[in-house]
């Protein structure tokens, strides 16, 4: 039997707090006119106290799951693509796995900056197609506002927070993920990076005072790189899927800059109405931008069963990539019973997590005490 990997659930979560260009112009030397004309961004969402990359990811993941006939326990794999993880370790994906109660799933984070969601989706799809797993949850989640230097006008106007998730399921029905292109060029790593906090520059007073824990970017270089790779990766993935460009109903590009997307459209000879654009409301949410844009496109009925889609991204690393898919999932509305199930599942996942933590403390006391006794 030939196996296919279909997206059967999707969900997004963004913070309530909106930060407008107007507000930014009171923080740094910038203006609404400059930001809109150079990037297309009008506002972005920013996390508040108590919100984090894991909390946004878990919310998006739970929303994606209720659209499917799966429960969290049916998931075999949870991947969180992120450039702003909860910690260096444990992986944000493990926190999400615990929060959802995905008790049978392996979980790991994927670090490929803005290209992470495409790579994660391809990894999960290949694991499904080869028969290694049946069900996967792939999430792109970011709180870049926590990594931004709010005094650097060259970067702080660009980024925003949010998460988007897809559930992938095995099926015998043709379609789903058709092909992917994954590329990298580490020689360009320094043009977009958070230099410190890892093993190269561990945290010291100096790294903090030099702001080496915030995003450093050479915008012009990233812009040039992006306009070079977007159209090429799209062409290549379409060819690998055995399709022609004019068979692609919709391109869902990484939302980094409206001008970069317009340049890719020109390079491909495709009209802009074939591209999803929502950068005006969310800014650049890195690995979350494609799933958030996809969720909004689905909500608005812009993606229909049978459509051929291309997802395409570029980012720090440098990394870039594209994924072609045929959408086969029905445009299902979530029945109220599933919403109730989500609330119940979330409640039991929390209870389970607390119980397991308590058991671990008790085990620690018992084993800790006995090891002392052994001495």
Give me the least distance between CB of 80 and ligand UT7, in Å please.
18
CA distance 31 to 12: 29
Q: Which residues from 41-100 bind ligand UT7, rule CB under 6 A? A: none
Give me the least distance between CB of 253 and ligand UT7, in Å please.
11
Sheet containing strand 308-315, strands side by side: 176-184, 319-326, 308-315, 250-253
Please report whether residue 227 would count as binding ligand UT7 according to CB under 6 A.
no
User: Pick from 39, 52, 97, 141: which binds ligand UT7 (CB under 6 A)?
Assistant: 39
Q: Which residues from 123-162 bind ligand UT7, rule CB under 6 A? A: 153-154, 157
Q: Which residues from 231-290 bind ligand UT7, rule CB under 6 A? A: 256-257, 284, 286
Catalytic pick from 21, 94, 156, 254?
A: 254
Catalytic pick from 122, 278, 284, 308?
A: 284
Q: Which residues from 297-356 bind ligand UT7, rule CB under 6 A? A: 315
Catalytic pick from 6, 21, 94, 114?
A: 114
Stretch that binds ligand UT7, among 7-15, 70-78, 127-135, 212-220 (CB under 6 A): 212-220
Active site residue 254: yes
Active site residue 284: yes
Residue 80 or 226: the one with the smaller Cβ distance to ligand UT7 is 226
Active site residue 216: no
CA distance 188 to 220: 13
Please report whether residue 224 would count as binding ligand UT7 according to CB under 6 A.
no
CA distance 9 to 109: 20
Stretch that binds ligand UT7, among 53-61, 176-184, 214-222, 320-328 (CB under 6 A): 214-222
Enzyme catalytic residues: 114, 254, 284
Residues at the interface with ligand UT7 (CB under 6 A):
30, 34, 38-39, 114, 153-154, 157, 192, 217, 219-220, 222-223, 226, 256-257, 284, 286, 315
């Amino acid at each position: 039997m030939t196996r296919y990997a279909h997206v059967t659930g999707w969900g997004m979560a963004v913070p309530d707090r909106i930060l407008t260009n107007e507000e930014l112009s009171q923080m740094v030397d910038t203006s609404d006119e400059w930001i809109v004309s150079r990037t297309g961004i009008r506002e972005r969402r920013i996390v508040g106290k108590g919100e984090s990359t894991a909390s946004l990811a878990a919310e998006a993941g739970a929303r994606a799951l209720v659209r499917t006939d799966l429960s969290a326990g049916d998931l075999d794999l949870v991947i969180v693509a992120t450039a702003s993880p909860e910690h260096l370790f444990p992986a944000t994906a493990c926190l999400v796995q615990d929060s959802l109660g995905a008790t049978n799933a392996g979980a790991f984070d994927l670090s490929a900056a803005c290209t992470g969601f495409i790579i994660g989706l391809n990894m999960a799809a290949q694991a499904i197609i080869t028969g290694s797993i049946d069900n996967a949850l792939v999430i792109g989640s970011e709180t870049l506002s926590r990594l931004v230097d709010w005094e650097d006008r060259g970067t702080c106007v660009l980024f925003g927070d949010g998460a988007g998730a897809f559930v992938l399921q095995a099926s015998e029905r043709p379609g789903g993920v058709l092909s992917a292109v994954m590329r990298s060029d580490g020689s360009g790593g320094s043009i977009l990076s958070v230099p410190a906090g890892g093993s190269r520059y561990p945290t010291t007073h100096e790294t903090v005072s030099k702001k080496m824990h915030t995003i450093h970017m050479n915008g012009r270089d990233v812009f040039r790189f992006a306009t070079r790779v977007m159209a090429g990766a799209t062409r290549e993935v379409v060819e690998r899927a055995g399709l022609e460009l004019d068979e692609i109903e919709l391109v869902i590009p990484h939302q980094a800059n409206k001008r970069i997307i317009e340049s890719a459209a020109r390079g491909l000879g495709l009209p802009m109405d074939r591209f999803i654009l929502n950068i005006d409301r969310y800014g650049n949410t890195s690995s979350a931008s494609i799933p958030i844009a996809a969720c909004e496109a689905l909500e608005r009925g812009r993606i229909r069963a049978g459509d051929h889609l291309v997802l395409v991204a570029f980012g720090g690393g440098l990394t870039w990539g594209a994924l072609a898919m045929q959408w086969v999932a029905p445009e299902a509305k979530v029945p109220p019973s599933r919403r109730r199930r989500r609330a119940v599942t979330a409640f039991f996942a929390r209870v389970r997590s607390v119980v397991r933590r308590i058991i671990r403390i008790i085990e620690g006391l018992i084993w800790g005490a006995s090891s002392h006794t052994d001495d």
